[in-house]
C-alpha cells in the first residue's frame, strides 16, 4: 500500500515538473528535434548528469535500489529507431503522453491509446521477437563502471553529459533570448 502512495506522489511530482519544463507540449518537443530550441534537451541531459552524481552519493551510503537493464545491440538499437520515428512525428514519448493527456491535450490522448495498441502488439510477439532479436546480441547489464572503474564511470558520464549540454547550447537555437 505504501508503494502505491509513493508511486502516486512520485507521478504527480514528475508530471508537474515535466509540464512546467514544457516536455508535454509537442510544439516544444518538435522545436527541440528541429534544433530550433535547446531548452528541453538541455534539461533532460543535465538532469541525467546530476542524477548520476546524486545516485552515486545515495548508493555510497546504502540508499536506493538499482536495476541495470541489459544492452542488446540489435533489439535496443532497432527498438530505439522505431521509437525515434514515433517520437519525431508525434512529439510525445510514453511518459509525456500521460502527463499531456492529463493536461487535456486531445492529440496526446490518441498517442496514449496508440501506445496501448503498440504494447498489445509487442506483448503478442514477445515470444517470437525476444529470442530472435534481443537475446542473440545481448551483452548483459554493462555499465560505465565496468569500463572505467568506481568513481571513473560516474565522472566520465558527468563530464560527457556536461559537454553535451554545452554543445546543445552551441548548436541549438534559443528563441527565449531573442
Partner 1 sequence: MNNERYWGWVPTSIALTGVILFIFATFGPPASSSGFVTTLKGVLQPLSPEYVAGKEHYAMMPGPGSWLMTFVLGMAIGGFIGGRTMKKKIHDVPEIWVKNFGGSRKKRYITTFIGGILILFGARLAGGCTLGLFISGSTQLALSGLYFGIVIFAVAMITARIVYKKYGKGVL
How far is it, in rounded angstroms, from Cα 152 to Cα 48? 16
**Please, is 68 exposed, middle or buried when counting C-beta atoms within 10 Å of its C-beta (0-12, 13-18, 19+)?**
exposed
CB of 38 to partner 1, least distance (A): 8
How far is it, in rounded angstroms, from Cα 133 to Cα 72? 8
Using the minimum distance from each CB to partner 1, give the nearer residue, 16 or 136.
Answer: 16
Using the minimum distance from each CB to partner 1, give the nearer residue, 126 or 163.
Answer: 126
CB of 136 to partner 1, least distance (A): 14
Using the minimum distance from each CB to partner 1, give the nearer residue, 106 or 170.
Answer: 106
Residue labelled with grid coordinates 546504502: 62
Using the minimum distance from each CB to partner 1, give the nearer residue, 50 or 163.
Answer: 50
Residue labelled with grid coordinates 554543445: 167
Residue 135 and residue 124 in contact, taking contact as beta carbons nearer than 8 Å: no
Residue labelled with grid coordinates 508503494: 3
Residue 107 and residue 26 in contact, taking contact as beta carbons nearer than 8 Å: yes
Residue 174 and residue 38 in contact, taking contact as beta carbons nearer than 8 Å: yes
CB of 167 to partner 1, least distance (A): 12
Using the minimum distance from each CB to partner 1, give the nearer residue, 63 or 170.
Answer: 63
CB of 40 to partner 1, least distance (A): 8
CB of 109 to partner 1, least distance (A): 8
Amino acid at each position: 500500500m505504501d508503494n502505491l502512495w509513493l508511486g502516486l506522489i512520485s507521478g504527480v511530482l514528475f508530471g508537474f515538473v515535466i509540464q512546467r519544463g514544457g516536455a508535454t507540449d509537442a510544439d516544444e518537443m518538435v522545436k527541440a528535434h528541429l534544433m530550433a530550441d535547446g531548452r528541453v534537451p538541455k534539461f533532460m541531459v543535465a538532469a541525467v548528469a546530476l542524477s548520476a552524481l546524486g545516485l552515486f552519493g545515495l548508493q555510497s551510503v546504502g540508499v536506493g535500489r538499482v536495476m541495470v537493464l541489459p544492452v542488446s545491440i540489435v533489439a535496443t538499437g532497432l527498438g530505439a529507431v522505431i521509437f525515434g520515428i514515433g517520437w519525431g512525428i508525434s512529439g510525445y514519448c510514453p511518459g509525456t503522453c500521460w502527463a499531456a493527456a492529463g493536461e487535456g491535450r486531445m492529440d496526446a490522448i490518441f498517442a496514449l491509446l496508440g501506445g496501448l495498441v503498440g504494447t498489445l502488439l509487442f506483448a503478442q510477439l514477445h515470444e517470437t521477437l525476444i529470442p530472435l532479436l534481443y537475446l542473440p546480441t545481448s551483452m548483459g547489464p554493462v555499465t560505465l563502471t565496468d569500463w572505467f572503474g568506481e568513481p571513473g564511470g560516474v565522472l566520465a558520464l558527468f563530464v560527457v553529459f556536461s559537454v553535451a549540454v554545452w554543445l546543445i547550447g552551441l548548436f541549438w537555437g534559443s528563441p527565449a533570448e531573442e
